[in-house]
A and B are shown apart, each in its own frame.
Chain A
Amino acid sequence: MTMAPKTIKRVLAIDPFSRGVGFAAFEGPECLIDWGLRSTGRADNGRAVRAIERLIDRFQPDVLAMENWEAVGSRRCDRVDLLLNHIASGKRKHVRVRLISRREVSTIGTLPHSATKYGRARLIADRFPELRAFLPPVRKPWMSEDDRMSIFDATAFAIACFPVAGDSTETTADEPYPA
């Protein structure tokens, strides 16, 4: 697989979790260039901000995608709300912030619809086989969410930034709406 053409749109998507940040970087909807978790050791916004800034420096994205913490359906804790707010309001040259609601993830972009988070993660793993190794086991009611699910959430946010082929009503990555 070859990389994106010379003029590209790079999307970095982040999804904070209790002890770190999950991320996924794309150059086009089918070109996943990196993914992973950045651990902060504990629930610490300062460390999380530094980790995210390092990711931005590394990938130099056009679009920074993250969850819209104010949208209906978002159930993030106050700490993560603050963190996302801080990142979204940061002044960065040439980086547009795109906020994506949980609802949008299942309705826009090139990702097929799935009712559950795990179902969506499985669809993503089918589309990007390199992510299969990161797919956590099915969550039981007494289990807390696996940290690795953040990678799939971030991937879904990034995919949602790219338009569906032939659908002119979608917002394109060229014109992502700012925060």
Chain B
Amino acid sequence: MAKQRLQHYLRTYRRRSGFSQEEIAQLLGASSGTKVSRYESFRRCPSVITVFAYEVIFNQPARELFAGFYDGVHQEVRQRAERLAKALAERDTDPETVRKLVFLRRIVDPKTNQLDGQ
């Protein structure tokens, strides 16, 4: 069943740090801990501003805090990039398209990105 990471680890990080939901709400600029409780129980999705606030509070990158979300989005974008690359390759092969294909290849296969960076 697991195989995938949880959508987020907000509760884990909060409890490790010892803060209460009310205290985190105060740091997030929310009026009460209810919102934090809803985030932690997967009943509400935090806004971009809240995501960055969490990143600042726990000093962890958003992709680690929201690991499951990140994995899902990552996979979907890769699939879309694959489809777009296929469509572009069928259309034409002018230099602009080739540039785009190289870019898309980096999304589809991150290893290519690492090799290019070395």
Contact = CB atoms under 8 A, between A and B. Distances in A.
Contact of A4 (B5, B11, B15, B41): B5
Contact of A61 (B2, B15, B67): B2
Contacts of A58: 41-42
B15 A34 contact: yes
Contacts of B5: 3-4, 6, 8, 27
Most buried by B among A61, A93, A95, A130: A130
A133 B15 CA distance: 11
A2 B64 contact: yes
What is the interface of chain A mostly: helix, strand, loop, or mixed? loop
Given A2-B64, A3-B64, A34-B11, A130 B16 contact: yes
B1 interface: yes
Contacts of A92: 1
Nearest to A12: B2
Contacts of B3: 7-8, 62
B71 interface: yes
Interface string A104-143: 0000000000000000000000000010010000000000
Interface in A141-166: none
A60 B3 CA distance: 9
B12 interface: yes
Contacts of A9: 2
Interface in A1-56: 1-4, 6-10, 27, 32-35
B9 interface: yes
A34 B53 CA distance: 22
A8 B15 contact: no
What is the interface of chain B mostly: helix, strand, loop, or mixed? loop
Size band of the interface chain A makes with B: 20 to 34
A91 interface: no
Contacts of B118: none
A133 B71 CA distance: 33
Contacts of B15: 34-35, 130
B4 interface: yes
A44 to B, nearest CB: 23
Nearest to B2: A10
10 contacts: A2-B64, A4-B5, A6-B4, A8-B3, A27-B2, A35-B15, A61-B1, A92-B1, A93-B1, A94-B1
Closest CB pairs A-B (n = 9) = A94-B1, A10-B2, A60-B1, A62-B2, A33-B12, A130-B16, A3-B67, A3-B9, A2-B64
